[in-house]
């Protein structure tokens, strides 16, 4: 199978997966006990029958199940997620215009830092296997990866916000920006970084250890191969051998994890964003769960699933480019 046929095959798989995601998502929310509209109306306290029927028609709940499915299929493909029960605004606008940029900034920065540091350190400790650096790094990584993330967040807030006062304990931007928006670009960067520093540090401490352990395991499987011995016999520098020969050939499992980590960037860090009152997708998810805001949850699950599918598609393409045996298998 050539590369073009391999790509076409993966595209077809992706289309089928998206259809399955929309269908399963629809069935899950359709099978939930109770009537979501009645809960929403109950929160309004006073509403007449005419308005109730209008809302029922607006959310498509007056149609048979198969017609609701067709409407849902069309709406999902066009990203028309409807109106939020809680805020009364368009769900797509809330997600893509207000919340997602904050989450992409937070988790994108954290993912890049943790992946780079974790991989570089993982290669180093694999090379120094059995030594003090290896033992200490693996122990620290396992400890941080096992500790609940809210506990790490509490410690970070206690030391850097409460005791030292270096960073604010929570929020997304300074409160005074609501009345006096900054005009200086440098001021905007400093203000955003000061509020994003602690949640980023919390997520980094929790996640980088996983990259260290995964990279170390992958490198240890290839570091004793014949081509590595040959590269050393040619007189190449050890850094070149480790990062250009060993890491490259150990990269297939890492590619999948990198793709999935960036896919879950859009899901937000629910616990961390809630802990730091950071206005992103994670905090939106928590708020939607607490308020039974089903249109928002429906949209969030769908968007997250799409990102995972897209990430796996990209990983499959990279597999086919890096290792021809996969596309010809």
Number of domains in the chain: 2
Give CA separation, 77 vs 50, 265, 321, in Å: 31, 21, 30
Whether 58 is covered by a domain: the verdict is: yes
Structure tokens, 63? 């149609």
Whether 82 is covered by a domain: the verdict is: no
Domain match, 49 and 111 both: no
What is the per-residue pLDDT for 35? 59
Domain match, 263 and 301 both: yes
What is the per-residue pLDDT for 9? 81
Domain match, 64 and 115 both: no
Structure tokens, 174? 């300074």
Domain match, 48 and 152 both: no
Domain match, 12 and 108 both: no
* d(C-alpha 171, C-alpha 138), whole Å: 33
Domain match, 125 and 17 both: no
Structure tokens, 12? 């077809």
Q: Rounded to the nearest 5°, which phi and psi values hold at 285?
A: -65, -45
Domain match, 63 and 114 both: no
What is the per-residue pLDDT for 326? 55
Whether 294 is covered by a domain: the verdict is: yes
**The pTM is what?**
0.77
CATH code at position 302: 1.10.3720.10
Whether 291 is covered by a domain: the verdict is: yes
Domain match, 136 and 200 both: yes
265 close to 103: Cβ distance less than 8 angstroms: yes
Domain match, 189 and 109 both: yes
What is the per-residue pLDDT for 3? 65
Among candidate residues 21, 46, 77, the one where a domain is terminated: 77
Among candidate residues 51, 77, 103, the one where a domain is terminated: 77
Whether 83 is covered by a domain: the verdict is: no
Domain match, 66 and 100 both: no
255 close to 290: Cβ distance less than 8 angstroms: no
For the purposes of burial, counting CB atoms within 10 Å of the CB of 190, is it exposed (0-12), middle (13-18) or buried (19 or more)?
exposed
Among candidate residues 17, 47, 77, the one where a domain is terminated: 77
Whether 20 is covered by a domain: the verdict is: yes
User: In which domain, by residue range, is 51 found?
Assistant: 3-77
Question: Which residue bears the tokens 């006096």?
Answer: 180
249 close to 222: Cβ distance less than 8 angstroms: yes
Q: Which are the contacts of 119, defined by CB distance < 8 A and separation ≥ 6?
A: 211, 215, 247, 254
126 close to 137: Cβ distance less than 8 angstroms: no
Domain match, 155 and 66 both: no
pLDDT one digit per residue (tens) for the chain, 329 residues: 566 777 788 888 888 888 988 888 888 777 766 656 555 555 555 556 666 666 666 666 667 777 778 888 888 888 888 777 777 778 888 888 878 888 888 888 888 898 888 888 888 888 777 788 888 888 888 888 888 888 988 999 999 988 888 888 888 877 777 677 777 778 778 878 888 889 999 989 888 888 888 888 887 877 777 777 777 777 777 777 777 777 777 777 777 777 777 766 666 678 888 888 888 888 888 888 887 778 888 888 888 888 888 887 877 777 666 666 555 45
In the three-class reduction of DSSP (H, G, I as helix; E, B as strand; rest coil), residue 313 is classed as helix
Helix-strand-coil split of the chain, %, nearest 5: 75, 0, 20
Whether 316 is covered by a domain: the verdict is: yes
* Selection from 310, 202, 301, 302 nearest residue 263 by Cα: 310
* d(C-alpha 166, C-alpha 153), whole Å: 15
Domain match, 19 and 101 both: no
């Amino acid at each position: 199978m050539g590369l073009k046929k391999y790509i076409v095959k993966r595209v077809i798989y992706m289309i089928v997966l998206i259809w399955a995601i929309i269908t399963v998502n629809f069935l899950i929310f359709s099978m939930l006990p109770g009537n979501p509209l009645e809960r929403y109306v109950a929160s309004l306290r006073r509403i007449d029958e005419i308005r109730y029927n209008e809302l029922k028609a607006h959310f498509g709940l007056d149609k048979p199940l198969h017609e609701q499915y067709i409407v849902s299929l069309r709406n999902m493909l066009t990203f028309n997620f409807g109106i939020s029960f809680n805020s009364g605004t368009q769900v797509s606008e809330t997600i893509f215009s207000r919340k997602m940029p904050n989450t992409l900034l937070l988790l994108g920065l954290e993912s890049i830092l943790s992946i780079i540091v974790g991989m570089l350190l993982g290669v180093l400790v694999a090379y120094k296997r059995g030594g003090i650096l290896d033992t200490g790094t693996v122990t620290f990584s396992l400890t941080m990866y096992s500790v609940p993330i809210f506990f790490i967040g509490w410690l970070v807030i206690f030391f850097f916000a409460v005791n030292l006062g270096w960073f604010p304990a929570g929020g997304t931007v300074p409160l005074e920006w609501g009345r006096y928006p900054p005009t200086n670009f440098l001021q905007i960067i400093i203000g955003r970084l000061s509020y994003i520093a602690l949640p980023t540090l919390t997520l980094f401490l929790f996640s980088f250890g996983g990259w260290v352990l995964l990279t170390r395991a992958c490198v240890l499987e290839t570091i004793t191969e014949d081509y590595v011995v040959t590269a050393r016999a040619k007189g190449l520098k050890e850094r070149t051998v480790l990062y250009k020969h060993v890491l490259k050939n150990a990269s297939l499992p890492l590619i999948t994890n990198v793709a999935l980590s960036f896919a879950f960037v859009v899901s937000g860090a629910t616990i961390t964003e809630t802990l730091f009152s950071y206005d992103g997708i994670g905090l939106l998810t928590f708020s939607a769960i607490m308020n039974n805001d089903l249109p928002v949850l429906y949209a969030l699950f769908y968007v997250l699933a799409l990102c995972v599918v897209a990430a796996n598609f990209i990983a499959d393409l990279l597999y086919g480019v890096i290792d021809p045996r996969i596309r010809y298998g």
